[in-house]
């Protein structure tokens, strides 16, 4: 059995990590703090990343018309339809969740962690959007609850970065990882497989690079072409190749082989809103993708970190 698993998984799942750390089920409560993004308001760019939906990847977060307390309660109750009991992690997901004055950040974060049975907070953001003042606060907050920062990288390929309008450099990303780790704040990195014109080698190079950094977790997404995005327009115009499910599974299983076993896999496939998804349609069957990844790893007799 794989070292970081108590099931048939051959990679370090988030569920295993949480149960090993907290001894119980942990549910992530996705909250919407009504943030914007420096890539939208002109600070570093306009239009946002070309794949980003109108909600800023916050399709499953709370309703911005509700208070944080109301959002938390509604999503918590929905979670309990599936799981009877457990604790919670407050997750600020949509857009850039450190891109605001420190007073706003403190109000939102403190409200979230003060809800009953919350053991931590995850904050999704950009590496160019965490000020020194924010770092100081996050470091202090991490002494009172478990803080995790999620950084969007997507790819290390410069041409792709420009194409997707990411508007921050690899050097900026790496520097922020170092600054967060210097303060002992865990880092989770988001990457996207299947970005336009990238090869399997490109996607493996992103993983190999991340494996050299002091990161604690990774989220692997499959590119989703969502309605009413610049990516949809690009796809309709150029019809670039969309990974098949089989290609995606092959790439992911190989990526896992190049990752240190202690790196937690927070996500291993996309989870798009089926009503907004243009392509690939196979992403809608999330559990089929997960099961097929497991089957392929058994078939190849492989596991996370095998090629290190």
Q: What is the pLDDT along the chain (308 residues), one digit of tens a residue?
A: 688 988 889 999 999 999 999 999 999 999 999 999 999 999 998 888 999 887 655 566 788 899 999 999 999 999 999 999 999 999 999 899 999 999 999 999 999 999 999 999 999 999 999 999 999 999 999 999 999 999 999 999 999 999 999 999 999 999 999 999 999 999 999 999 999 999 999 999 999 999 999 999 999 999 999 999 999 999 999 999 999 999 999 999 999 999 999 999 999 998 888 999 999 999 999 999 999 999 999 999 999 999 99
CA separation for the pair 297, 198 (Å, rounded): 23
pTM of the predicted protein model? 0.96
| Residue in this structure with the two tokens 């790196």, named with its chain if needed | 263
Residues 6+ apart with CB under 8 A from 70: 62
How far, in Å, CA of 61 to CA of 127, rounded?
Answer: 22
DSSP 240: P
Q: How far apart are the first and last CA of the chain?
A: 18
Strands annotated E in the chain: 26-31, 87-92, 118-125, 146-154, 187-193, 217-222, 225-226, 264-267, 277-279
DSSP 59: T
14-300, what's its fold? TIM Barrel (3.20.20)
187-193 vs 146-154, strand pairing mode: parallel
Cβ atoms 284, 277 nearer than 8 A: yes
Token readout for 250 is: 């092959």
Within its chain, how far is the Cα of 40 from the centroid?
20
């Amino acid at each position: 059995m794989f070292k970081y698993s108590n099931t048939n998984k051959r990679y370090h799942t988030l569920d295993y990590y949480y149960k090993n750390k907290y001894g119980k089920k942990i549910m992530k409560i996705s909250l919407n703090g009504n943030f914007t993004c420096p890539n939208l308001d002109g600070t570093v760019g306009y239009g946002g990343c070309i794949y980003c939906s109108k909600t800023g990847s916050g399709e499953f977060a709370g309703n911005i018309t509700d208070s944080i307390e109301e959002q938390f309660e509604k999503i918590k109750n929905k979670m309990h339809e599936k799981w009877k009991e457990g604790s919670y992690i407050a997750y600020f997901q949509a857009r850039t969740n450190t891109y605001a004055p420190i007073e706003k950040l403190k109000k939102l974060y403190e409200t979230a962690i003060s809800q009953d049975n919350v053991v931590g907070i995850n904050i999704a953001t950009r590496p160019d959007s965490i000020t020194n003042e924010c770092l100081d606060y996050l470091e202090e907050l991490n002494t009172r609850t478990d803080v995790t920062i999620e950084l969007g990288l997507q790819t290390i390929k410069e041409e792709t970065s420009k194409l997707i309008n990411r508007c921050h450099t690899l050097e900026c990303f790496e520097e922020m990882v170092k600054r967060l780790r210097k303060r002992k704040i865990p880092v989770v990195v988001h990457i996207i497989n299947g970005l336009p014109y990238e090869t399997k080698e490109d996607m493996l190079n992103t993983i190999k690079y991340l494996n050299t950094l002091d990161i604690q977790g990774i989220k692997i997404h499959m590119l989703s072409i969502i309605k009413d995005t610049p990516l949809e327009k690009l796809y309709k115009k150029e019809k670039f190749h969309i990974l098949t499910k089989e290609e995606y599974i092959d790439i992911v299983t190989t990526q896992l082989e190049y990752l240190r076993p202690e790196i937690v896999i927070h996500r291993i496939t996309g989870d798009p809103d089926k009503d907004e998804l243009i392509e690939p349609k196979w992403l809608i069957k999330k559990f089929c993708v997960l099961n097929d990844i497991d089957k392929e790893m058994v078939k190849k007799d492989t596991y996370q970190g095998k090629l290190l």
